[in-house]
Amino acid sequence: MQVPKQRSGPKQILGDLEGEVLECVWQRGPVSVREVHSHLAARREIAYTTVMTVMSRLAEKGLLQRRPEGRAFIYSASMPRDEYWTEVVKNFLDGVLQGANRPLLSHFVESLAADDAAQLDLLADIIEEKRRKRACS
């Protein structure tokens, strides 16, 4: 069985092109379609209209905001990269851990301990903080 190639960055959640476009907007700040197209076209052949469509779709999904400037739109990220990843991880974990059983949680803890004992300590601190907050409410 062949394991699929691991994608990185926003491409894990979005498609490859959407991920590249979003990463470009995060790196460059407010940009036009033309600027993103130039950036992508330097690395591969891509039509201007394709970039325009992808940026429009990212705006429809709420990941980009756009404002008119002359006859074009200027796009900016709706949220910083860190906030985006926080939401992605939160949504993923909410779905995975809903009704989580002991073996799943145990595997999660074992994977942390195998990689970095400091992560396990951090998890223990977070759990303790949540217990304190729950006791106060």
Tens digit of each residue's pLDDT (9 = 90 or more) over 71-94: 999 999 999 999 988 888 888 777
72 in the same domain as 108: no
Q: What is the mean pLDDT of residues 18-23?
A: 93
Measure the CA–CA gap between 74 and 128, rounded to whole angstroms. Answer: 45
- The domain tally of the chain equals 2
Q: What is the mean pLDDT of the chain?
A: 85
Residues 23 and 72 in one domain: yes
Which segment of 52-56, 110-114, 130-134 scores lowest on mean pLDDT?
110-114
- Same domain for 15 and 51? yes
Q: Would the pLDDT of 2 be above 60?
A: no
- pTM of structure: 0.67
pLDDT confidence of 3, banded at 50, 70, 90?
Answer: very low
